[in-house]
A and B are shown apart, each in its own frame.
Chain A
Amino acid sequence: MQEAVAVVIDGIIYSAWLFIAAVGLTLIYGVMKIVNVTHGSFYALGAYAAASITGALLAHGMPPMLSYAVLLGSAVLVAIVVGPLIERGILRFMYVKDEVVILLITYALFLILEDVIKLIWGVSPYFIAEPYGLLGSFDVADLTYPVYNLILVGVAIVCGVGLAWTLTKTRTGKLLVAVIHDTEVSRAMGINVDRFYVVTFTFGSMLAAIGGAFTAPTVSVVPGLGVEVIVLSFAVVVIGGLGSLPGAALGAVIVGLVRSATIHYLPQAELFVIYLVMALVLAFRPRGLFMLAEARKI
């Protein structure tokens, strides 16, 4: 019984983390049709910015309770600086190219950003454990969890609900849906598509950076941090369907629960099982659980 509770709680926490890390990817794909490998770089950038800025401020006597705001702020800052730079500077010239070619371009950018990170922050690891332990812990069925994990779940819910609300209820969101469905007609109707692209890319990358920033206190921030996140977010997003918001949520929950169950009951299968689910979904529903089949074009 206790183990089952642990599986569910670990699963929820892991799902929340996966959702934050992956939802930006699905947003960017949905709007811009870019499978964005730099997503992992933004995750790492967010983690590094958060770790170094929070660390520096804490050392200068900032009240520790403020560190959560600083974590968020650093992620937003880094995405607002780097996101538009990449979209306006490079990607916007590439939209005429094939989806696969754009993927390769983001792969090239990922390689470049990996080293940019090393140049800025060096290769030695960063630790900021303080925010993690600060809030104490809570007990469920005799198991102790840090309250910090609740923040992750909270951030995930805010991101998901906020995005869904923006897309369906606001004017901007409705315009964005129009852009998703038909770029050319939207453009003809006077929608500033370029602005939507740069905002979407920055915002999607910001979500990745936030994911990295809130993970930073729980790990040591080292080079190569973003490499694994890329495939994991691909898995999450593909399971639900590329470009689908509810799909990303479902994908995160499936991967989160499946992984936490295998960690508890069959630890040898931990990594393999995630990609097995991804492969199975692709095999039976190639466009993911939430997407409809597309007719072949002549």
Chain B
Amino acid sequence: MTVDRTPRLLVAILAALLVAGPFVPQWALFLITIALAKGLVVLGLMILLRCGLVSFGQALYYCIGAYAGGMLGRLFEVSGVFTLMLAGMVASAVTAYVLGFLLARYRGIFFGLLSLAISMILYGLLVKSEALGSSDGFNVLPSTLFGIRPEDEWVRYVVLAVAGVVAFVAALLVHRYLKTPLGGLAPAIKDNEIRVEYMGASARHAIHVNYVIAAALAGLGGALGATTVGHIDPEMAYWTTSGEFIFITILAGTGSVIAPFLGAMIFGIIQTVAFDISPNTWQMVLGSALLVVIVFLPSGLWSLFRRRKAT
């Protein structure tokens, strides 16, 4: 029996992040934190992709998470970072639970298109709602950790540490979940749904559960992203945001729970570097990267590690 290395690897990555954090420049801290936030969304998309489902509307839950956190601050002046993330997660999960009854019946392109339509509905609503700042969005209150606001030069590091711990816990839980019978059903659903049902399992139920988990993770990521950036706007629900998440999911692959975070990090690096070098061609670089990965690494960047291990 092979040893499960993932938990150990996760601990090592978290430790490295926490130790190296204080020595890393501020802009890099910001980059890593955003990558962790996006990685959480992608972790959810990875769970769905394992069932063969590609959601072109995951920005819906990212946006709901961000707005839920942001509105708690705006209306009730709540600023505890964990409270905000919990709010984002719950708001997204509840929405997904309701929508899941509908969406769990869809497969393939129709699942993607319906989730796209729903996320665009939210976009349309937010753009026209003046109370929430219309298309400009609004600024999020500076968040606090257990009631304390860290000193300015430590803010980024503290947010990163929080994000790291949250991502660590989420990744570990998802890793465990994928090993449960329900979590293990996903590849079977992807391969042949009817056989899954002959075995006595309900594909629709499994997809519904996975859908809610994915949404909860996206909500968590959204609240975290909002806290990090300090501003939220309806663009977060636009289809290009969903496209970005799908992009990272494909880039990363479904091989491991670490892959989404790695993918988000690489995406962030490509984006930043390409944008720095030539601001007018960064999308071209991203598009080409996506094309290359789809053609040459259909199972994502993570398959690079796996192949090396096998030989």
Could you list which residues of chain A lie within 8 angstroms of chain B, going by C-beta atoms?
Answer: 35, 90, 93, 97, 99-101, 103-105, 107-112, 114-116, 118-119, 123, 227, 230-231, 234-235, 238, 242, 267-276, 278-279, 282-283, 286-287, 296, 298
Is B106 on the interface with A (CB-CB < 8 A)?
yes
Q: Which residues of B have CB within 8 Å of A278?
A: 113, 117, 120
Interface residue tally of chain B, by bracket? 35 or more
Contact B108 A270 (CB under 8 A): no
Which of B123, B287, B290, B295 makes the CB contact (< 8 A) with A271?
B123
Q: Which residues of B have CB within 8 Å of A111?
A: 283-284, 286-287, 290
Q: A35-B113, A118-B280, A272-B123 are in contact. List 5 more A-B contacts (CB 8 A).
A: A99-B108, A101-B298, A227-B240, A230-B239, A278-B117
The answer for the CA separation of A72 and B84 in the assembled complex, in Å, is 53
Is B80 on the interface with A (CB-CB < 8 A)?
no
Query: Chain A's nearest CB lies how many Å from the CB of B290?
Result: 4
Contact A119 B294 (CB under 8 A): no
Listed stretches B124-132, B218-226, B302-310; interface member: B124-132
Interface centre among A115, A230, A298 (most CB of B within 10 A): A115
The answer for the CA separation of A190 and B44 in the assembled complex, in Å, is 46
| A111-B290, A116-B284, A119-B281 as given contacts; A275 in contact with B121, CB under 8 Å | yes
Contact A112 B287 (CB under 8 A): yes
Query: Chain A's nearest CB lies how many Å from the CB of B76?
Result: 26
Q: Which residues of B have CB within 8 Å of A105?
A: 291, 294
- Offer 18 A-B interface pairs, CB within 8 angstroms, sorted by A: A99-B108, A99-B109, A105-B294, A107-B243, A107-B287, A108-B288, A108-B294, A235-B117, A235-B120, A268-B129, A269-B128, A270-B128, A271-B120, A272-B123, A272-B125, A276-B124, A278-B113, A282-B113
Q: Which residues of B have CB within 8 Å of A114?
A: 283-284, 287
Is B30 on the interface with A (CB-CB < 8 A)?
no
Could you list which residues of chain B lie within 8 angstroms of chain A, going by C-beta atoms?
Answer: 54, 102, 106, 108-110, 112-114, 116-118, 120-121, 123-125, 127-129, 192-194, 239-240, 243, 246-247, 250, 280-284, 286-288, 290-291, 294-295, 298
Contact B290 A107 (CB under 8 A): yes
Which of B280, B286, B291 makes the CB contact (< 8 A) with A123?
B280
Contact A104 B246 (CB under 8 A): yes
The answer for the CA separation of A74 and B210 in the assembled complex, in Å, is 48
Contact B110 A282 (CB under 8 A): yes
Query: Chain B's nearest CB lies how many Å from the CB of A172?
Result: 27
The answer for the CA separation of A283 and B108 in the assembled complex, in Å, is 15
Query: Chain A's nearest CB lies how many Å from the CB of B273?
Result: 15
Q: Which residues of B have CB within 8 Å of A273?
A: 124
Q: Inter-chain contact count A-B, CB under 8 Å?
A: 124
Contact B128 A271 (CB under 8 A): yes
Q: Which residues of A have CB within 8 Å of B125?
A: 272
Contact B128 A272 (CB under 8 A): yes
Q: Which residues of A have CB within 8 Å of B246?
A: 104, 107
The answer for the CA separation of A100 and B194 in the assembled complex, in Å, is 20
Contact A231 B239 (CB under 8 A): yes
Interface centre among A35, A104, A109, A278 (most CB of B within 10 A): A104
Query: Chain A's nearest CB lies how many Å from the CB of B18?
Result: 35
Q: Which residues of B have CB within 8 Å of A110?
A: 287
Contact B120 A231 (CB under 8 A): yes
| A112-B288, A271-B128, A272-B125 as given contacts; A279 in contact with B114, CB under 8 Å | yes
Q: Which residues of A have CB within 8 Å of B102?
A: 283
Q: Which residues of A have CB within 8 Å of B193?
A: 296
The answer for the CA separation of A234 and B117 in the assembled complex, in Å, is 9
Contact A112 B283 (CB under 8 A): yes
Q: Which residues of A have CB within 8 Å of B290?
A: 104, 107-108, 111
